[in-house]
């Protein structure tokens, strides 16, 4: 199925929200599966470090591969307790066509809004004398040579897809069916922010999470959110690439 809808008025799909069959217990099971999977991956990484002295999380290439595996675990957690369990199509997870003009317009609006808020946040912190630090995982990513493409794929393409499927398609969709759109936006955004928790980036991540949930609510499709999320991550990776290329030391 083509994710992008034809612009012909007769072909347009209304932005009605997909009805999902999974329940709160499925959400809890999916979250538990993802959390235990990520914990298991980190334990395995720690064993490689301490038993065999393989610095998997300090090497940019292996870290990117680690992120890929982690994203696969997250997507699997969503699929197992939604479309696989209830034998429904991927469209129930939000992987459905959308109105291109409407979707791209909202993406542009939220992109500008989120960066305006981020700019105000940075200016405020600077005025207060607070020195902001990039997320630690960003400092360990490698964007030199061919590794740039692996890093870009894992962080700017696969990660946005995986996180939108889990946090918006699975979690938000399931919560919305039980507690309504506003409550689902708040709770899914809290979970999303907790995953990326960083005191320095708390407000920008919180805003991005809410924007992504709202975008899914308005379009009924995950693809606009994936585009917005991927654009945000791509800018961060390209910025890291430029900084490393110029020899700028990030702390």
Q: Structure pTM?
A: 0.87
Residue 162: domain span: 20-246
10 located within any domain: no
In a domain, 5, yes or no: no
CA-only gyration radius of the chain, Å: 19
**Is 12 a domain residue?**
no
Say how many C-beta atoms besides its own lie within 10 A of residue 240's C-beta: 21
| pLDDT value for 178 | 93
pLDDT value of residue 13: 46
Q: How far apart are CA 80 and CA 164, in angstroms?
A: 16
- The residues facing 4 across adjacent strands are 98
Within-domain flag for 45: yes
Number of domains in the chain: 1
Is there a contact between 229 and 160 (Cβ–Cβ < 8 Å)? Answer: yes
Give me the residue label for tokens 């390209």. 238
Q: 4 φ, ψ to 5°?
A: -105, 125
Measured from the Cβ of residue 116, the count of other Cβ atoms closer than 10 Å reads 11
Q: What percent of the chain clears pLDDT 90, i.e. is strictly above it?
A: 59
**Is residue 14 one of the residues assigned to a domain?**
no
Whether residue 11 is predicted with pLDDT greater than 80 in this model: the reply is no
Instruction: Provide DSSP, 131-183.
Output: -----HHHHH---STTHHHHHHIIIIIIHHHHHIIIIIIIIIHHHHHHH-HHH
Within a domain: residue 15? no
pLDDT tens profile 106-127: 999 999 999 999 999 889 988 8
67 is a domain residue? yes
Position 214 scores a pLDDT of 97
Q: State mean pLDDT over 243-250.
A: 74
pLDDT tens per residue across span 186-231: 999 999 998 877 777 888 899 999 999 999 999 999 999 999 999 9
Rounded to an integer, the average pLDDT of 140-167 is 89
- Stretch among 86-90, 162-166, 190-194 having the lowest mean pLDDT: 190-194
| pLDDT score at 3 | 53
Distance CA 116, CA 21 (A): 37
Instruction: Using alpha carbons, select from 183, 170, 154, 172 the residue that is nearest to residue 215.
Output: 172
Q: Which residues contact 169 (CB under 8 A, 6 or more apart)?
A: 78, 82, 93, 94, 95, 216, 222
CB 138 within 8 A of CB 236: yes
| pLDDT at residue 51 greater than cutoff 50 | yes
In this prediction, residue 139 carries a pLDDT of 65
Tell me the mean pLDDT in the region 36-64: 81
* Opening angle at CA 27, ends 230 and 63, nearest 5: 40
Average pLDDT, the chain: 87
Confidence (pLDDT) at 8: 41
165 versus 12: which is more confidently predicted? 165
Rounded to an integer, the average pLDDT of 56-69 is 79
Return the structure tokens found at 27.
């959400």
221: three-class secondary structure by DSSP: coil
| pLDDT given for residue 138 in this prediction | 66
Q: Are 151 and 238 in contact (CB under 8 A)?
A: no
| Confidence category of residue 57, pLDDT binned at 50, 70, 90 | low
137 vs 182: which has the higher pLDDT = 182
Does residue 119 lie within any of the structural domains? yes
Q: Binning pLDDT at 50, 70 and 90, where does residue 145 land?
A: confident
- Statement: residue 2 has pLDDT above 60: no
Closest to 164 measured CA to CA, from 117, 220, 217, 223: 223
């Amino acid at each position: 199925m083509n994710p992008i809808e034809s612009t012909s008025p007769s072909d347009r799909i209304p932005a009605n929200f997909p009805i999902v069959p999974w329940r709160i217990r499925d959400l809890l099971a999916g979250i538990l599966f993802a959390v235990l999977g990520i914990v298991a991956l980190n334990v395995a990484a720690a064993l490689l470090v301490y038993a065999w002295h393989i610095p998997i999380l300090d090497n940019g290439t292996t870290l990117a591969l680690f992120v890929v595996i982690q994203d696969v675990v997250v997507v699997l957690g969503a699929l197992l307790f939604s479309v696989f369990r209830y034998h429904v199509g991927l469209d129930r997870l939000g992987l459905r066509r959308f109105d291109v003009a409407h979707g791209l317009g909202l993406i542009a609006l939220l992109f500008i809004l989120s960066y305006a808020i981020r700019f105000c946040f940075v200016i405020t912190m600077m005025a207060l004398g607070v020195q902001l630090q990039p997320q630690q995982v960003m400092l360990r990513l490698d964007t030199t040579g061919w590794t740039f493409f692996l890093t870009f794929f894992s962080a700017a393409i696969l990660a946005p897809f995986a996180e939108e499927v889990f946090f918006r398609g699975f979690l938000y969709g399931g919560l919305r069916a039980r507690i309504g759109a506003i409550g689902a936006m708040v709770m899914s955004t809290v979970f999303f922010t907790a995953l990326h928790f960083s005191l320095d980036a708390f407000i920008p991540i919180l805003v991005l999470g809410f924007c992504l949930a709202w975008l899914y609510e308005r379009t009924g499709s995950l693809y606009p959110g994936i585009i917005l999320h991927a654009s945000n991550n791509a800018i961060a990776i390209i910025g890291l690439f430029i900084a490393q290329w110029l020899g700028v030391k990030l702390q």
